[in-house]
């Protein structure tokens, strides 16, 4: 049993890294630098993904009588951007590959700066100045879960594009399977804590924060409708690995981790509803192509 418990975090890390590896396999240098070469797009992306979510979360948890665990879970997810599922979700909505991958890479590189900064500000504002960012663990999470697999994928794309094309679908399916295998034991272990959080406005509060993030990304995405969808998804879906790393360093018990995963599930549901609305509201001649 102890061996299985020790294996789950490794399995989760490998599976999430595999999804990022697929991003590198499917993209080229020009796509990854797309946003960096366009300062206006970069500024709007920073505002939508790194600035507005923690502000929205902070105002909401300050105003509502939520439990401390729920408040912590919402705030931790708000400061944790760049989940590996984002580029795939955006492309399925018909978004531009250059813009989707460009936003993802730009936000990933800025995470090392944004997460500690926003976390420190939030800790001071909510009366927990003793909370600290586990910088070594955070950097290792970003390095092994985002930057390193991305770089490896780019190298394969650069020197063996045929292999990259063939390997990407297989690695994506395998990584998604591993994600499910890793998350299921975690959900089972924290299920009692998860059930205890549901109610008293918890789900509504999480949904409201997600809707605000989607609306911010949609409005800041520029005149292109599909770029709006891309930025909306990037702003609303957060990285549970980063949030759980912060929770493990500053909170005792499973309640905060349960709140993080509950926020993730709520965000995915609200994001799916946004995708349905986006397709139904599209002009007949400009609807996104089916994946």
60: Cα within 13 Å, side-chain hemisphere:
26
- From 226, 211, 217, 214, select the one nearest 92 (Cα to Cα): 226
Return the pLDDT at 291.
38
Angle at the Cα of 59 (from 90 to 245), degrees rounded to 5? 60
Query: At which residue do the structure tokens 């109610």 appear?
Result: 199
Query: How far is Cα 142 from Cα 75, in angstroms, rounded to an integer?
Result: 19
Query: How far is Cα 143 from Cα 17, in angstroms, rounded to an integer?
Result: 10
Report how far apart, in Å, the C-alpha atoms of 54 and of each of 30, 37, 114 are. Answer: 30, 26, 11
Return the pLDDT at 94.
58
The residue ranges of the chain whose pLDDT is under 50 are: 285-291
Query: How far is Cα 41 from Cα 38, in angstroms, rounded to an integer?
Result: 6
Cα dihedral 59/63/68/69 (nearest 10): -60
CA 12 from chain centre, in angstroms, equals: 14
Return the pLDDT at 42.
92
According to DSSP, residue 235 is labeled: H
Gyration radius (Cα) of the chain, Å: 18
Residues 6+ apart with CB under 8 A from 6: none
* Chain segment 262-288, per-residue pLDDT in tens: 898 898 899 889 988 988 887 654 444
Query: How far is Cα 273 from Cα 115, in angstroms, rounded to an integer?
Result: 28
Return the pLDDT at 114.
85
High-pLDDT (> 70) share of the chain, %? 84
Return the pLDDT at 52.
95
């Amino acid at each position: 049993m102890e061996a299985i418990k020790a294996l789950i975090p490794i399995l989760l890390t490998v599976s999430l890294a595999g999804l990022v590896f697929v991003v590198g396999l499917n993209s080229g240098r020009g796509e990854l630098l797309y946003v960096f070469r366009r300062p206006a797009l970069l500024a709007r992306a920073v505002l939508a993904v790194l600035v507005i979510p923690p502000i929205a979360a902070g105002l909401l948890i300050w105003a509502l009588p939520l439990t401390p665990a729920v408040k912590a879970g919402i705030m931790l997810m708000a400061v944790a951007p760049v989940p590996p599922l984002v580029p795939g979700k955006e492309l399925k909505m018909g978004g531009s590959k250059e813009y989707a991958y460009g936003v993802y890479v730009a936000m990933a590189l800025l995470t090392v700066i944004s997460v500690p900064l926003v976390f420190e500000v939030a800790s001071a504002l909510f009366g927990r100045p003793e909370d600290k960012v586990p910088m070594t663990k955070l950097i290792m999470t970003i390095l092994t879960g985002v930057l390193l697999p991305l770089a490896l994928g780019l190298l394969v794309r650069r020197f063996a594009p045929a292999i990259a094309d063939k390997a990407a679908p297989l690695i994506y399916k395998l990584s998604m399977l591993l994600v499910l295998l890793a998350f299921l034991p975690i959900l089972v272990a924290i299920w009692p804590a998860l059930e205890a959080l549901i109610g008293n406005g918890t789900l509504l509060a999480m949904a409201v924060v997600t809707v605000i993030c989607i609306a911010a990304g949609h409005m800041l995405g520029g005149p292109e409708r599909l770029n709006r969808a891309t930025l909306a998804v990037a702003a609303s879906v957060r990285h549970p690995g980063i949030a759980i790393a912060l929770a493990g360093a500053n909170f005792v018990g499973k309640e905060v981790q349960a709140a993080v995963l509950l926020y993730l599930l709520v965000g995915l549901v609200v994001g799916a509803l946004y995708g349905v609305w986006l397709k139904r509201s599209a002009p007949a001649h400009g609807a996104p192509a089916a994946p």
